[in-house]
Structure 1
Amino acid sequence: MQYPVPHHLLSRLVGRLAECRQPALKNALVRAFIRRFGVDMAEAAEPDPTAYATFNDFFTRALKDDARPIGEGVASPADGRLSQFGAIEAGQLLQAKGHRFSAEALLGGDTEAATRYLGGSFATIYLSPSDYHRVHMPLSGILTEMVYVPGRLFSVNAATTEHVPGLFARNERLVCHFDTEHGPMAMVLVGAMIVAAIETVWAGQITPLPHGEVQRIRFDTPVRLEKGQEMGRFKLGSTVVMAFAEPVTFAERLDPGVKVQMGDSLTAP
């Protein structure tokens, strides 16, 4: 049913509403959202929901400094569900049962970049509307390139991932390449229906861009981010796909669909 929907138009209209600064409307939207999704404001750095200037400010709210301890090894970059994880097999990542997609397509058709991840590992985190929506570094790293890839804006919930082939390689997304102590790592922030924008801490708001073509930005001045440091955020919920050039041994306690929080260790001791 999502195929004929005007994804971008709907998402941009929602984005305008989320930036509304009229107090009565903004506060009504925030309170309704908190009731609908059971948002715990006690862990927010600013617990008063009416203190935020816009709905987007509320949605991308910061947490208290001690709200998310950072675990050992590869840490979860966000709150959400670990929808899939494991080995990248023959250049393919698992999306859902019966659906795989290629690393090359995910990375915007970059064959050279995709070859770095042959034999590596991946993990996908789905952020629901009720989750904390800032994205943090799973490992310390130096940003080497950022790639904007235009695309559709299908929903990325479980039902859609089971029925839309190559979903994460079809949606609009931002690919961030890092060099880490464990080798190359790509963090892919995937857009989705009614996601108004994707931001990074080094460049501000990136999506939506006006030109429907792949755009690459390299960084001559190194941008270094430490493990656990914020690297970006979604204005409404979406998905993060991580790809690692080196194999990752994931913790045995993890199963597809398990709930995780930012900072939780994803790797075996």
Structure 2
Amino acid sequence: MPLKSISRLWGRFNQVDLPVFLRRPLIGLYVWLFGCDLKEALEQDLRSYRNLGEFFRRQLRHDVRPVDDTHVLTSPSDGKVLYHGQVKHGILEQVKGVTYSLRGFLGPQTWDSSSLSPLPTVTSHDVMPLSDEAYQNSLRLKPGNELHHCIIYLAPGDYHRFHSPTTWTVQHRRHFPGELLSVNPGVARWIQGLFNFNERAVYTGQWEHGFFSMSAVGATNVGSIKIYCDKELQTNVHGKQPQNVFYDKHFTEPITVHKGDMFGEFNLGSTIVLIFEAPPGFQFKVSEGDKIKFGRPLGSSA
């Protein structure tokens, strides 16, 4: 199916301004269908949202999501925890028993190269000679540290902005045009390597324990990914994209984002993938299948 074209059409529909008298019944139907909690919204009068897109990207009241300050890692978004755990041999799990490749998800390990241009570059990753295990070793984790990952799925009724889960420094962005397959949990159980097929914006850098990566993964009807610190990012663009191509941007002046800072937004729901190194003893504070809210504890290194 032409999922990218469908997603662009859906995006245009979301931006069509509704007559004031239709806003409450139409947006109210969406609220009812997907169980949106209007009491949490900064603006609770549905007539103030000009279109569905504005409602999808609604802001929260400042007092409803206090950011936990006792844990090193907090949830970047509202959503459902699909999976979390330690990365071993370069293989990650998207749900229990269904895997994807770290090497395929992040692409060649070139983001810390001083030779990278600060301007966007186009690169093919047809040839990736490292095995999955060798690729993980190439990340050069600190001695004794372990690599972890966490996947959070944002449903259509969730708050669609996402935030920094910790204080870290963004050094590099890699945009994979990819596909726009659905990422709901049922599909994630069916298609192995789903996240490696889909369009995604992968941001890599450093936090207090070493390597840190936060990725926004697109999906059907979620062709729009907006990152506040990266105005050049354009997703779900017109025209056929070559296979196995990604677009790199190296930030010559790394961007420091603090825990809880707004990082970006989806147009509807999608998925956030965190991949990071942590010292021995790091523990997740959530379980697979948990519903979680932005700012709540996600993991602790003590």
TM-score by length of 1: 0.91
Q: Indicate which of 1, 6, 9 corresponds to 2:2.
A: 6
Distance 1:181 1:209, change over 3 A: farther
Distance 1:216 1:210, change over 3 A: farther
Distance 1:117 1:176, change over 3 A: farther
Counterpart position of 2:50: 53
SS of alignment partner, residue 278 of structure 2: coil
Counterpart position of 1:207: 235
- Once the 2 structures are TM-superposed, how far is the Cα of residue 60 of structure 1 from its aligned partner? 0.8
SS of alignment partner, residue 162 of structure 2: strand
Matched, 1:230 2:262: yes
Task: Provide the C-alpha distance between the structure 1 equivalents of 2:94 and 2:257, rounded to a whole number of angstroms.
Answer: 28
The answer to which of 72-81 and 27-36 deviates more is 27-36
Counterpart position of 1:250: 283
- Once the 2 structures are TM-superposed, how far is the Cα of residue 152 of structure 1 from its aligned partner? 1.2
Matched, 1:80 2:112: no
Amino acid at match of 1:187: M
- Once the 2 structures are TM-superposed, how far is the Cα of residue 30 of structure 1 from its aligned partner? 1.6
SS of alignment partner, residue 47 of structure 1: coil
Counterpart position of 1:110: 108
- Once the 2 structures are TM-superposed, how far is the Cα of residue 53 of structure 1 from its aligned partner? 2.4
- Once the 2 structures are TM-superposed, how far is the Cα of residue 27 of structure 1 from its aligned partner? 4.9
Matched, 1:36 2:33: yes
Matched, 1:154 2:150: no
Q: Check conservation: 2:181, 2:220, Cα contact below 8 A.
A: yes
The answer to which of 28-37 and 202-211 deviates more is 202-211
Q: Check conservation: 2:83, 2:96, Cα contact below 8 A.
A: no
Flag structure 2 segments of 5+ consecutive residues without an equivalent: 112-135
Counting only pairs closer than 5 Å after superposition, residues 82-97 of structure 1 correspond to structure 2 as 82-97=81-96
Amino acid at match of 2:174: V
Task: Provide the C-alpha distance between the structure 1 equivalents of 2:99 and 2:60, rounded to a whole number of angstroms.
Answer: 35
Distance 1:203 1:254, change over 3 A: closer
Flag structure 1 segments of 5+ consecutive residues without an equivalent: none
Task: Provide the C-alpha distance between the structure 1 equivalents of 2:96 and 2:204, rounded to a whole number of angstroms.
Answer: 27
Counterpart position of 1:70: 67
Amino acid at match of 1:257: G
- Once the 2 structures are TM-superposed, how far is the Cα of residue 9 of structure 1 from its aligned partner? 1.0
Aligned-residue Cα RMSD (Å) equals 1.9
- Once the 2 structures are TM-superposed, how far is the Cα of residue 47 of structure 1 from its aligned partner? 1.1
Task: Provide the C-alpha distance between the structure 1 equivalents of 2:15 and 2:63, rounded to a whole number of angstroms.
Answer: 29
Q: Check conservation: 1:116, 1:245, Cα contact below 8 A.
A: no
Task: Provide the C-alpha distance between the structure 2 equivalents of 1:117 and 1:227, rounded to a whole number of angstroms.
Answer: 25
Q: Deviations over 1:214-246 (max 9, x none)?
A: 111111233221100010110010000000023
SS of alignment partner, residue 207 of structure 1: coil
Q: Check conservation: 1:117, 1:244, Cα contact below 8 A.
A: no
How many pairs were matched up?
A: 263
Q: Deviations over 1:161-201 (max 9, x none)?
A: 00111001110000011221221211110000111300011
Task: Provide the C-alpha distance between the structure 1 equivalents of 2:151 and 2:33, rounded to a whole number of angstroms.
Answer: 25
Query: Kindly, what percent of the aligned residue pairs are identical?
Result: 33
SS of alignment partner, residue 31 of structure 2: helix
Task: Provide the C-alpha distance between the structure 1 equivalents of 2:26 and 2:109, rounded to a whole number of angstroms.
Answer: 44
Larger of the two Rg values belongs to structure: 2
Distance 1:200 1:140, change over 3 A: same
Counting only pairs closer than 5 Å after superposition, residues 126-141 of structure 1 correspond to structure 2 as 126-141=153-168
Distance 1:47 1:214, change over 3 A: same
- Once the 2 structures are TM-superposed, how far is the Cα of residue 210 of structure 1 from its aligned partner? 4.4
Amino acid at match of 1:206: Q
Matched, 1:219 2:255: no
Q: 4+ residue stretches of structure 1 with deviation over 6 A?
A: none
Task: Provide the C-alpha distance between the structure 1 equivalents of 2:287 and 2:47, rounded to a whole number of angstroms.
Answer: 38
TM-score by length of 2: 0.81
